[in-house]
Structure 1
Amino acid sequence: MKKLVICGGGSSAHALIPFLKDSIFEVSVYTSRPERWAKTINLEWHDPSGKVLGTYSGDLKTISNNPEDLFPDADYIVFCMPVHKYRVALQKIAPFINKDKTVFVGTVYGQGGWNWMVDEIKKQYGLTKIVTFAFGLIPWICRIIEYGHTGVTYGCKAVNYAATYPMDYFNQVNEELLEYICYKWFGKGKVEQSDNFLSLTLSVDNQIIHTSRCLGLYKVYGTTWKNEESVPWFYKDYDDISAKLLADLDTDYTNIRNAIKKLHPEKDYSYMLDYLALERFSYHSHNTDIKESFVTSQTLVSIKTPVIQNSEGTWEVDRNHRFFLDDIYYGNCIAKWMAEQLNIVTPTIDEILHWAQIIRQENIIDDDNHLMLNSPDLNEPLKAGIPCFYGFNTIEDCID
């Protein structure tokens, strides 16, 4: 059997482990909290009402927080953690990855420049035999019921896309891994090949959905709610303000994508889609309305707004949630940097960044709507994935 190490204990890990049952892989997990993990991980498939439609389970060979226990023999490494933690974890495990054999290093979600991050460790540690891969969209809607024991999924995408480098490894990755984790169990979720990772980096999924919705909630409700019960559902209570913000943010991203396509008409950017086109592709839906795509979704209705109780006893959006740390620093900031290189005005990205820096009490964007690249808040090591932090100086440096 091949040895696959799941890096991280996020919601997607609790889905991936059971779905790899009876695969070619012996599965282990690298986690900072090994004492909380069981040897068998269970997964429940729920419909929107909470009815259990199916149950799955998968076994773990090794559970460890010591990279030396896991990575020297790994054939596949799959990241299942928030995007903003990718680079930190890659730096920790890189010294232990086998340099003398082909090792597949991938993630269930390729937002934020995954190929740039892997290239970073390939250069630093001489890992020339790594094959890089990433999904364009997280395969399932999933959450944790009991950490290290049980997860829940509300279903999978109807179809997905993924990129590999080198490109000719796609069929192997698809046959050995990708086909196993959705299509085998649900009869859908086939994965198509994207010719490039840039389409994943500029995906109009989490990075435009989450940040525009959080700003929309602020505009409608203000900063706090008196009790948790009064907090609106993230998608089920989606409103017109949030839909307009998402549409405007999508326009900013579309202008960036179109400029890149114009610079490189010879490249296949067929997976650089606007929000509704991507939603119709991934769910085989016929939605033509942004608000409708959320409030009628059978897989999103159970998702709550990420809130915490503050010192005054009221509830507010969690400013340290991945909706900020992933989607601002490894999402909107990347798009803003590209827009600046392309001389594109991005009014909605700017509005979100100005709001986010107030919420997080940081310096991200200045009064002239330029990224504050010298700000300690952006320059904190590995905090942000802005292309210049990899040594890129132009858009051409970002093209794969």
Structure 2
Amino acid sequence: MGTEDRTKVLICGGGNGAHCLAGLSASNPENETHVLTLFADEAERWTKVLQSNDLTVTIVKNDGGSEEIKSKPTLITKNPKEAVTGAEIIFLIVPAFAHEQYFREISPFIGDNTLIVGLPGQAGFEFQCLHMLGEKAKHCTIMSTESLPWACRILEFGRLVQILGFKETLGASKLQGSISNLKQSPFESVQKVLGPKPVLREIQNYIAVNLMAKSIIHPPLMYGKWSAFNEAAPLKEKPLFYQGVDEKQASLLSSVSNECIAIGKAIEKQIPGIDMSEVIHILDWFLTYYADQITDKSNLMTTMQTNKAYDGLLHPMKQVDGGQFVPDFSYRYTAEDVPFGLVVLKGIGQLAGVDTPVMDEIITWAQGKLNQEYLVGSELSGKDLPKTRAPQRFGFKTLQQLFDV
């Protein structure tokens, strides 16, 4: 296959997910895979590693065995123009707080009919993408997935990344401007890069993906675990995150999920023809996306505790004097998943006229830990709202405006 016939894929990021996607994409001879990482000297370091090594993706199988995929991306750079020019599919696979930086750097070089994919988009991705691209967004297709396709981790930077588990299926939505000139449809194009699993499932409207974003999971679990924690009494070990979930944490997560469902139902009533049935309870979400990896499906707590894809994952902690640990609220589970997660969902709920008391409780606690102000009482009117991706930040004042883009 000639170079001109290959699909030009750009992966933005240098973390776990970007390593994984770069390896999978580059292993397909029909793709020309570029990587853009803006963080420090990552691009230089990664390029140097690959001069004498392949990028190996190790896939852990349910039977305890493993499979290896070896490949090399065509280009790894921190130069946006070099990376973006000619790209047909652009994946942003960086934390939500970094999306703005990447949009700012790549938007001047994005051509018409480009497919831009948030993997995951996280809540508010489309609002920010439309805002940053301006008129150019009308000639592109914007896609967003509700979570990462896999649980994965870097074992050796630039050279070895491990996939611990695949989701069975992955919900995604699209906002399409002009007709794409991709060789296949947007969903077929993304599926081709990901490989056979997970199977992409189209969600009919992007607000449903926002309400199902995985960012609803971490803040309730953090709040349930640490809201009564005394930092003067640090722990000797880092506690398990998912496998250590208790009834209180599961109840908080379930309540937040119920509030998202209530927002979805309110939208259906107010906007004719909109189907929000894809907004399902978080227990059903786990049972759908990790069907083969959960041992005990009795309830939400046991479902999280026995999900093999989450084996060994720990709470974000920082070490203090004496070698003990206290929670790290600067980690993305709070610092990202509140302003780019719960606050966005709260904003959609506020436009829909739905009260969200449990979200409000968690946001109020979290903003204290982050030294930010998003909520004042139960209203999104805090001074730090411009640091979030709530729809109100981007000028959305009515529910209808969300569906007129």
Q: Same fold (TM over 0.5)?
A: yes
Q: Which amino acid aligns with 2:77?
A: S
Q: Which whole-Å deviations, capped at 9, do the CAs of 1:196-246 have from their partners, x for residues lacking one?
A: 11111111x52221001101111465447635x522110111111111111
Does structure 1 retain, via aligned residues, the 8 Å contact 2:385–2:393?
A: no
Confirm or deny that 1:387 pairs with 2:391.
yes
Q: Which amino acid aligns with 2:277?
A: S
The equivalent of 2:238 in structure 1 is 231
Confirm or deny that 1:378 pairs with 2:379.
no
The equivalent of 2:24 in structure 1 is 19
How much does 1:191 deviate? Answer: 1.3
CA-atom RMSD, angstroms?
2.5
Correspondent of 1:97 among 110, 121, 133: 110
Could you tell me how far apart the structure 1 residues matched to 2:81 and 2:69 are?
Answer: 30
Confirm or deny that 1:317 pairs with 2:344.
no
Does structure 2 retain, via aligned residues, the 8 Å contact 1:133–1:163?
A: yes
The equivalent of 1:362 in structure 2 is 372
Does structure 2 retain, via aligned residues, the 8 Å contact 1:179–1:190?
A: no
**Matches of residues 55-70 of structure 1 in structure 2 within 5 Å?**
55-70=68-83
Confirm or deny that 1:240 pairs with 2:251.
no
The equivalent of 1:207 in structure 2 is 215
Q: Which amino acid aligns with 1:3?
A: K
Could you tell me how far apart the structure 2 residues matched to 1:24 and 1:212 are?
Answer: 42
Q: Which amino acid aligns with 1:389?
A: R
Q: Which amino acid aligns with 1:11?
A: N
**Matches of residues 296-315 of structure 1 in structure 2 within 5 Å?**
296-310=306-320, 314-315=324-325
From the superposition, tell whether residues 192 and 308 of structure 1 become closer, same or farther in structure 2 (CA, over 3 Å): same
- Report the 3-state secondary structure (helix = DSSP H, G, I; strand = E; otherwise coil) of the residue aligned with 2:378: coil
Correspondent of 2:55 among 41, 64, 75: 41
From the superposition, tell whether residues 261 and 47 of structure 1 become closer, same or farther in structure 2 (CA, over 3 Å): same
Does structure 1 retain, via aligned residues, the 8 Å contact 2:61–2:67?
A: no
- Report the 3-state secondary structure (helix = DSSP H, G, I; strand = E; otherwise coil) of the residue aligned with 2:20: helix
Q: Which amino acid aligns with 2:331?
A: H
How much does 1:107 deviate? Answer: 1.8
Confirm or deny that 1:80 pairs with 2:93.
yes
The equivalent of 2:125 in structure 1 is 114
**Matches of residues 244-393 of structure 1 in structure 2 within 5 Å?**
244-284=251-291, 287-310=297-320, 314-366=324-376, 368-373=377-382, 375=383, 377-379=384-386, 383-393=387-397
From the superposition, tell whether residues 3 and 299 of structure 1 become closer, same or farther in structure 2 (CA, over 3 Å): same
The equivalent of 1:5 in structure 2 is 10
From the superposition, tell whether residues 176 and 342 of structure 1 become closer, same or farther in structure 2 (CA, over 3 Å): closer
From the superposition, tell whether residues 155 and 179 of structure 1 become closer, same or farther in structure 2 (CA, over 3 Å): farther
Q: Which amino acid aligns with 2:33?
A: V
Structure 1 vs Structure 2: percent identity of aligned residues?
23
From the superposition, tell whether residues 394 and 238 of structure 1 become closer, same or farther in structure 2 (CA, over 3 Å): same
Query: How many residue pairs get matched?
Result: 384
Q: Which amino acid aligns with 2:223?
A: L
What is the TM-score when the length of structure 2 is the normalising length? 0.87
**Matches of residues 150-169 of structure 1 in structure 2 within 5 Å?**
150-166=160-176
How much does 1:134 deviate? Answer: 2.1
Could you tell me how far apart the structure 2 residues matched to 1:149 and 1:62 are?
Answer: 15
How much does 1:391 deviate? Answer: 1.4
Q: Which amino acid aligns with 1:82?
A: P
Higher mean displacement: 38-47 or 386-395: 38-47
From the superposition, tell whether residues 224 and 41 of structure 1 become closer, same or farther in structure 2 (CA, over 3 Å): farther
Does structure 2 retain, via aligned residues, the 8 Å contact 1:215–1:352?
A: yes
How much does 1:371 deviate? Answer: 2.1
- Report the 3-state secondary structure (helix = DSSP H, G, I; strand = E; otherwise coil) of the residue aligned with 1:192: strand
How much does 1:166 deviate? Answer: 2.1
Does structure 2 retain, via aligned residues, the 8 Å contact 1:46–1:52?
A: yes
Q: Which amino acid aligns with 1:17?
A: A
Could you tell me how far apart the structure 2 residues matched to 1:329 and 1:312 are?
Answer: 33
- Report the 3-state secondary structure (helix = DSSP H, G, I; strand = E; otherwise coil) of the residue aligned with 2:185: helix
Could you tell me how far apart the structure 1 residues matched to 2:70 and 2:232 are?
Answer: 39
How much does 1:59 deviate? Answer: 0.9
Q: Which whole-Å deviations, capped at 9, do the CAs of 1:165-219 have from their partners, x for residues lacking one?
A: 3298696233333144241xxxx4211211111111111x522210011011114
- Report the 3-state secondary structure (helix = DSSP H, G, I; strand = E; otherwise coil) of the residue aligned with 1:117: helix
Does structure 1 retain, via aligned residues, the 8 Å contact 2:60–2:67?
A: yes
From the superposition, tell whether residues 66 and 199 of structure 1 become closer, same or farther in structure 2 (CA, over 3 Å): same
From the superposition, tell whether residues 391 and 107 of structure 1 become closer, same or farther in structure 2 (CA, over 3 Å): same
Unaligned runs of 5+ in 1: none
From the superposition, tell whether residues 102 and 275 of structure 1 become closer, same or farther in structure 2 (CA, over 3 Å): same
What is the TM-score when the length of structure 1 is the normalising length? 0.88
From the superposition, tell whether residues 291 and 122 of structure 1 become closer, same or farther in structure 2 (CA, over 3 Å): same
From the superposition, tell whether residues 339 and 219 of structure 1 become closer, same or farther in structure 2 (CA, over 3 Å): same
Unaligned runs of 5+ in 2: 1-5
Correspondent of 1:30 among 14, 21, 36: 36
Q: Which amino acid aligns with 2:45?
A: R
